[in-house]
């Protein structure tokens, strides 16, 4: 015996409601999954510490520069906990490597040599350290470019030749605008 026509129409009538409910459920699960995986990457960008002036092509740090490198290690030298640095990048120059060395020793990390162009280095660090915290030791002519690339801001001021104490903390979220904090140490 065939079902009455009214019963057949009721199933057809409820189908759009079931499809809509299923679509809303799938969308809700996808949204929750997306938002729980969204994170921020924090990159600390500093210039190398004070270098010895003279005719040598790749000068070492001055005693003041050694002290500044030690202060940097004291600022970011916590091995665990919130905001712990997980990677250190520095150019291959003696002064940049010496600035990063005390922090690397304290955190038991290897300094990754980074002679990439500033914009490429910023993208590399963001990709490799996604969701983590990294430190970049650069130079007066590269630090502003790295910060500008990370933050997509065009108003990052140039660094003076005698500016060794500026720290930029750039927080780059997966969704939204980056924030830049400028400090001195």
Buried/exposed code over 60-90 (b: 16+ C-beta within 10 A; e: otherwise): ebbeebbebbeebbebbbeeeeeeebebbbb
Q: What is the pLDDT of residue 17?
A: 76
pLDDT of residue 104: 98
Say if CB 77 and CB 84 are below 8 A apart: no
pLDDT under 50: residue ranges of the chain:
none
pTM above 0.75, yes or no: yes
pLDDT score recorded for residue 38: 76
**What radius of gyration do the chain's Cα atoms show?**
26
SS3 112: strand
The answer to whether 124 touches 34, Cβ cutoff 8 Å, is no
Predicted pLDDT at 80: 84
Write down the pLDDT at residue 1: 60
> What is the C-alpha separation between 62 and 66, in angstroms, rounded?
6
> Could you tell me where the DSSP H helices lie in the chain?
5-37, 63-76, 94-107, 118-128, 143-151
């Amino acid at each position: 015996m065939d079902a009455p026509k009214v019963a057949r129409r009721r199933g057809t009538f409820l189908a759009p409601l079931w499809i809509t409910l299923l679509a809303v459920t799938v969308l809700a699960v996808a949204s929750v999954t997306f938002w729980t995986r969204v994170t921020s990457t924090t990159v600390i960008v500093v210039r190398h510490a004070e270098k010895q002036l003279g005719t040598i092509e790749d000068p070492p740090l001055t005693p003041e520069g050694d002290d500044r490198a030690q202060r940097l290690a004291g600022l970011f030298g916590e091995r665990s906990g919130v905001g712990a640095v997980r990677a250190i990048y520095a150019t291959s120059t003696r002064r940049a490597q010496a600035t990063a060395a005390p922090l690397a020793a304290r955190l038991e990390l290897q300094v990754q040599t980074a002679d990439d162009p500033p914009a490429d280095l910023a993208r590399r660090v963001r990709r490799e350290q996604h969701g983590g915290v990294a430190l970049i030791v650069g130079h007066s002519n590269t630090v502003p470019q790295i910060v500008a690339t990370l933050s997509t801001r065009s108003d990052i001021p140039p660094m003076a030749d005698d500016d060794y104490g500026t720290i930029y903390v750039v927080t780059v979220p997966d969704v939204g605008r980056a924030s830049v904090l400028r400090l001195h140490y």
